[in-house]
Structure 1
Amino acid sequence: MTESINRVAVVTGGSRGIGAAIVRRLASKGVHVAFTYANNGGAAERTMAEVREAGGSAKAYAADAGDASAIQDVVHRVSSETGRLDIMVANAGIMLAGPPGDVSIDAFDRLMAVNVRGVFFAATAAARVMPEGGRIISIGSCLAERSAGPGTTAYTLTKAALVGMTRGLAYDFAPRGITVNLVHPGPTDTDMNPAASERAAQQRTKIALGRYGSADEIASAVAYLASPAASFITGAALAVDGGFAA
């Protein structure tokens, strides 16, 4: 039996990896999931097909997560088409690694646009149309709390910014009963950071459980925070990192 019939969610960056796992998990709970993708229409089609085959409901929207206006437009379209919006998952993110002195202004601005500005405007657009009991969840990183080593400063600062954003928005939206939370994944086996890559062995040495997480394990945490069971959790940063930050 599903627990969330007639609820509607928007997931940014939902065509692959952690985002696709979140789409599938919410859809399995009876949520109609609208998700965005930037360029990979084929991956978006596959995610929709997987959801339909499992008996769920999902629809893809082309939108660059770094374009705040485009994300706002998707939120407005979804709420107009479905008549509601209950869950916002700001999942889309990009990675930038390398010595800080080598980071160009354009690359830094793009990183901030996707990882911070897009998240803020997705959250505020969603809150405008959400009913009481709405859920806003962002995807951060275990690097927001602990540096993995040199070369991650620019990326880390964007994910650390989400901690402050989450705490502030939790207070701003609390009078309307909307909760705002953050999930910090640890090293997760996706195409962005595959468990079979050359750098994976070094990352595993920093994980207490000694293994990478799966996208489905991150999606489980998101589904919990989106559920009625998490109604008294807001302003929190939940580490799903196998003990990386322990």
Structure 2
Amino acid sequence: MQLCGHSVSPYFERVVIALDIKGVMDQVELAGVPGGFKSEKHFSYHPLGKIPFLIKDDGTSITEGQVIAEYLDRVLDGPDLMPHDFEQATQARLIARVMDLYFSEAVKPFGRIAFGGESTDAEVEKAKLEDIPMAFNYLEKYMGNGQRAVGDDWTIADTALIPHLYWYGALQVRFDLEGYDRWPRLFAYWNHVKDTDIVTRSFDRIKESYDEFFGGKDG
């Protein structure tokens, strides 16, 4: 199988994190985008011309990072990333959902600027004072009290959180955004995981991928 995309995308990187946690990095080839971005071949695998997508051994493809991560969790060896307990599995899915739908939307004005685009002063102010705190309030409701996002073991919730929080950390430094102190569970979680090998390797991949595209510049 081939996982197509680049770690600069948090949706691609979450799948790589899942492979790393499961210890199966050697079972899936990490590829770029066959034919190049927005090529005919790219659209044949992903109708919207986005990343990530997984090319299965039979030549068919699966899109959407969360779906790919859950698929590979089921078909590959290694520790299960979806909790066996139904309530914990629901909690893990909720955390991933909050990050994808609300956090990612909240930080968009800063992301556009960081990647060379533009946002209005009003958009930036609303994101900083309203949207990002709201997203973290929502996240805090579902964060667990253990060593990881849900309990004490890595789950799909962590694979979603880690790359998104990498980018928040980068934006936080550049735009003087709020830290995690207001959200005790998130704050404790980040202190538990930020220096783990899983997070360190993920951050290294993201930095390397960013440098590949943007020459090491911070936008």
TM-score, normalisation: structure 2:
0.40
Name whichever structure is richer in strand by fraction: 1
Give the structure, 1 or 2, with the largest relative contact order (CA under 8 Å, sep 6 or more): 2
Name whichever structure is richer in helix by fraction: 2
TM-score, normalisation: structure 1:
0.36
